[in-house]
Amino acid sequence: MQQSRRLVVVRHAAAEQGAATDAERTLTDGGRDDARTAGEWLAAEGLVVDHALVSAALRAQETWASLAAGAAADLEPDVSRLLYSAEPETVLDLLREVPTESSCVVVVGHNPTMAYLANLLDDGEGDEAAATELTTRGFPTCSLAVFAYDGEWADLDVTSATLRAFHVGRA
């Protein structure tokens, strides 16, 4: 039997309202601090990220950089333009292509997709408090939904993962 993998679904941290294009919006100072704090939380939970799939939007890349710094994760993300405007099924397709040896994957994207994805993945068998938080709080900026997944990444599908934790990074 395969060891359980972890998938962390992340909505980017708080971003500035304006930029030349939406994709060029940067994080606020508070957003950077929140993402760093979220990374520290991941590390405190014992999660060691070995693969990151990140939207090409600047605010998502900056979220990953701050989160990685907080988690002491020294790895280059797999940046994808597809994540910028992806529907949940597209994100699932991208996750299915994650290297098989990866055991803890972070995906950083945008709402409403990340919220939908978190709800679609959940098999309903996980942590009740986390599920309640996910349902009642929605998926605000710098939200992290942590799932356990016992299969191959290529087989990841709707209701195939178990929600273990929900956290909103706030400095």
What pLDDT does 22 receive?
86
Mean pLDDT over residues 4-20, rounded?
95
**Which secondary-structure segment (H or E) carries 130?**
helix 128-137
Token pair for 72:
């002491």
CB proximity list for 84: less than 8 A, separation 6 or greater: 23, 55, 56, 57, 60, 109, 110
The confidence band for 1, taking pLDDT boundaries of 50, 70 and 90, is very low
| CATH 3.40.50.2000 for the 5-168 domain, yes or no | no
Helix (H, G, I), strand (E, B) or coil at 7: strand
pTM (2 d.p.): 0.96
Per residue in 49-94, pLDDT (tens digit) is 999 999 999 999 999 999 999 999 999 999 999 999 999 999 999 9
Sketch the domain layout of the chain as residue ranges.
5-168
Using alpha carbons, select from 115, 110, 105, 101 the residue that is nearest to residue 61.
Answer: 110
Please report, for residues 67, 167, 169, the alpha-carbon distance to residue 37 in angstroms, rounded to integers and kept in the order given. Answer: 7, 11, 6
The confidence band for 3, taking pLDDT boundaries of 50, 70 and 90, is low
Per residue in 142-169, pLDDT (tens digit) is 999 999 999 999 999 999 999 999 999 9
Quote the distance between the C-alpha of residue 150 and its chain's center.
18
